[in-house]
Amino acid sequence: MEFVVTDQTAMSFASKTAPADGVVVVFAEEGPKLTPTAQDLDKKSKGLLSRAAEITGFKGKKEQTVDLLAPQGLKFARLVLVGMNKASAYSPEDWLNLGGAVRGMLSGKEAPAAHIFLETAGGVAPADIASFALGALLRGYKFKKYKTKTRKKNDAAAETNDRTLKKIVIHCADPKAAGQAFAPARALAEGVTLARDLVNEPANVLGPAEFATRAKGLSKLGVQVDVLGPKALQKLRMNALLAVGQGSARPSHVAVMQWKGAGTRGGEPIVIVGKGVTFDTGGISLKPAAGMEEMKGDMAGAACVVGLMHELAARKAKVNAVGIIGLVENMPSGSAQRPGDVVTAMSGQTIEVLNTDAEGRMVLADCLWYAQNRFKPKAVINLATLTGAVMVALGKEHAGLFSNNDELANQLTAAGSATGEKLWRLPLGPKYDKMIDSKVADMKNTGGKWGGSISAAQFLQRFIKEGTPWAHLDIAGTAMSSVDSEINRSWGSGFGVRLLDRLIADHYERR
């Protein structure tokens, strides 16, 4: 079985006795305790591997490696021995990260193929092999669409010089079972890749209309996609969303993606809403120039929703799920909204616009209202690069979680721990809600100096109906301008796709 993720390395599974060429990767646990294949290759090379391990002080610890070129007595080009500590203590996330780490080691090692013999004393479960493979694929992602010159060989930045790696073969005890377990992981790899591609894409190429077209592409997978253009949005009275986009020459859109994998017996859907500000200049409340280019990523919430819907459809998830994304460009111009403007949102509530840079909440206000009106959802979750303040509070390690429902909040937190896309819950409450009371309208769109992520969340909650379980994820610190990890070296991380896949698999799918 062979799977190819768009523009990535082909991943396949084979038996432990199948032939290998190129770079061969074997493992050792603490000790070093070499795996059977490692021992076998050590024997075939007349003790080369164990001697090299001894010389370099290799003890089978994580991040320790032994790298042999043209090993004597062996037919392939390179042999890499990788330490893994104690495999029996590995979590699924550890397997994912090991896959990422190994893929990272392969970068710059000039060979078209890598053969990885993944085994341990206790045996590796097919699901763990799938996690490893997913980690390897995600680490291999690189946004190179706009690189017109191919890199020189022996580039110091090895990571950029990995185009020669065409395929990875994972040799394991039961390749058929591993291949089956990998099918949903492959869907995840595609979903995360799609989300990263969208976040990394510059805003001159990806405006609201172009983003909607990308969403429309999901119909190939059986997702029902409806795109609402400016006329339809006016008719629906999505005036808060439209106000944000009115300064742009590029008209606002909303895309609605329905995946009905659980059929009528599955009942009402779970709805995921994403902020899709394709570029956020701040509007008339203009942002400073330094770093403004980062605001091409202000659609990462929407990118996650598209990636998730792709993933659910690609693995035929038994869930009824709807994705709704509000696509606007926040620009200053003669037609832009002004500070002091009052707009009537779709819900009928009025908003005093004190700062045109607090635009995401206005976009989400109408999308959340529309979501509840049209779908009577089991739960609504929104993702948004909503506030810089969430990074002040949590750094880039956790996304902010706000919820009116403890059960949903706990399920999300657990999914975060399981996937490594971590969440930290922050408070909501009536005193915080008061911060956005306005003298002239029902509410204002900013809540003062302190607790900026919380007042933003309170704003969203004013558009959630009594009884709708709702969670808001503020992903400003985790989805863009990402810190390097074992499974990601890209600016856009695709944060949220694996998290919500886990949530849905654990709590919303029919079995």
Residues labelled as active-site residues = 287, 361
- Which listed residue (29, 298, 311, 366) binds Zn ion by CB under 5 A? 298
Residues in the chain: 511
Distance of alpha carbon 140 from alpha carbon 295, whole angstroms? 25
**Cα(first)–Cα(last) distance of the chain, in Å?**
26
Q: Is 357 an interacting residue with respect to Mn ion (CB under 5 A)?
A: yes
Distance in Å, CB of 244 to ligand BES, minimum: 9
Binding pattern for the stretch 261-280 against Mn ion, x by CB under 5 A and - elsewhere: -------------------x
Residues in region 274-293 near Zn ion by CB under 5 A? 277, 280
Which one of ligand BES, Mn ion, Zn ion, none is in contact with 128 (Cβ closer than 5 to 8 A by kind)?
A: none
Q: Is 283 an interacting residue with respect to ligand BES (CB under 6 A)?
A: no
Residues in region 140-179 near ligand BES by CB under 6 A? none
Q: Is 352 an interacting residue with respect to ligand BES (CB under 6 A)?
A: no
Distance of alpha carbon 342 from alpha carbon 314, whole angstroms? 43
Residue number of the CB atom closest to Zn ion: 280
- Which listed residue (12, 347, 387, 404) binds ligand BES by CB under 6 A? 387
Q: Is 359 an interacting residue with respect to ligand BES (CB under 6 A)?
A: yes
What count of other Cβ atoms lies within 10 Å of the Cβ of residue 62?
14
User: Angle at the Cα of 18 (from 13 to 21), degrees rounded to 5?
Assistant: 90
Q: Is 358 an interacting residue with respect to ligand BES (CB under 6 A)?
A: yes
Which one of Zn ion, ligand BES, Mn ion, none is in contact with 85 (Cβ closer than 5 to 8 A by kind)?
A: none
User: Angle at the Cα of 371 (from 366 to 376), degrees rounded to 5?
Assistant: 140
DSSP 331-358: --STTS--TT-EEE-TTS-EEE-S-TT-
Q: Is 298 an interacting residue with respect to ligand BES (CB under 6 A)?
A: yes
Outline where 89-158 has alpha helix (H): 92-106, 126-139
**Residue reference for tokens 């999300």:** 412
What count of other Cβ atoms lies within 10 Å of the Cβ of residue 227?
17
Among 376, 381, 372, CA closest to 405? 381
Tokens of 53: 């391990």
Distance of alpha carbon 126 from alpha carbon 128, whole angstroms? 5
User: Angle at the Cα of 160 (from 157 to 161), degrees rounded to 5?
Assistant: 95
DSSP 22-34: SEEEEEEETTTEE
**Residue reference for tokens 């329905």:** 258
Q: Applying CB under 5 A, which part among 93-101, 180-188, 266-274, 352-360 lies near Mn ion?
A: 352-360
Beta strands 113-117 and 10-14 are unpaired
Q: Is 476 an interacting residue with respect to ligand BES (CB under 6 A)?
A: yes
Q: Is 213 an interacting residue with respect to ligand BES (CB under 6 A)?
A: no
Q: Is 474 an interacting residue with respect to Mn ion (CB under 5 A)?
A: no
Distance of alpha carbon 226 from alpha carbon 476, whole angstroms? 27
Q: Is 329 an interacting residue with respect to ligand BES (CB under 6 A)?
A: no
Q: Applying CB under 6 A, which part among 104-112, 176-184, 354-362, 406-414 lies near ligand BES?
A: 354-362
Distance in Å, CB of 336 to Zn ion, minimum: 14
Binding pattern for the stretch 229-268 against Mn ion, x by CB under 5 A and - elsewhere: ----------------------------------------
Q: Is 357 an interacting residue with respect to ligand BES (CB under 6 A)?
A: yes
Distance in Å, CB of 338 to ligand BES, minimum: 15
- Which listed residue (100, 297, 360, 451) binds Zn ion by CB under 5 A? 360
| Consecutive H or E run containing 5 | none
- In the complex with Mn ion, the residue whose CB is nearer, 9 or 481, is 481
- 406 burial via Cβ count (<10 Å: 0-12, 13-18, 19+): exposed
- In the complex with Zn ion, the residue whose CB is nearer, 101 or 277, is 277
- In the complex with Mn ion, the residue whose CB is nearer, 286 or 414, is 286
Among 75, 76, 88, CA closest to 33? 88
Q: Is 329 an interacting residue with respect to Zn ion (CB under 5 A)?
A: no
Q: Is 501 an interacting residue with respect to Mn ion (CB under 5 A)?
A: no
| Rg of the chain taking only CA atoms, in angstroms | 25
Distance in Å, CB of 291 to ligand BES, minimum: 8
List, in sequence order, every residue forming a beta bridge with 344; answer none if it has no partner.
350
Beta strands 350-352 and 342-344 are antiparallel
Q: Is 280 an interacting residue with respect to ligand BES (CB under 6 A)?
A: yes
Distance in Å, CB of 486 to ligand BES, minimum: 24
Q: Footprint of Mn ion on this chain (CB under 5 A)?
A: 280, 357, 359
Q: Footprint of Zn ion on this chain (CB under 5 A)?
A: 277, 280, 298, 360
Q: Footprint of ligand BES on this chain (CB under 6 A)?
A: 280, 298, 355, 357-360, 385, 387-389, 446, 452, 476
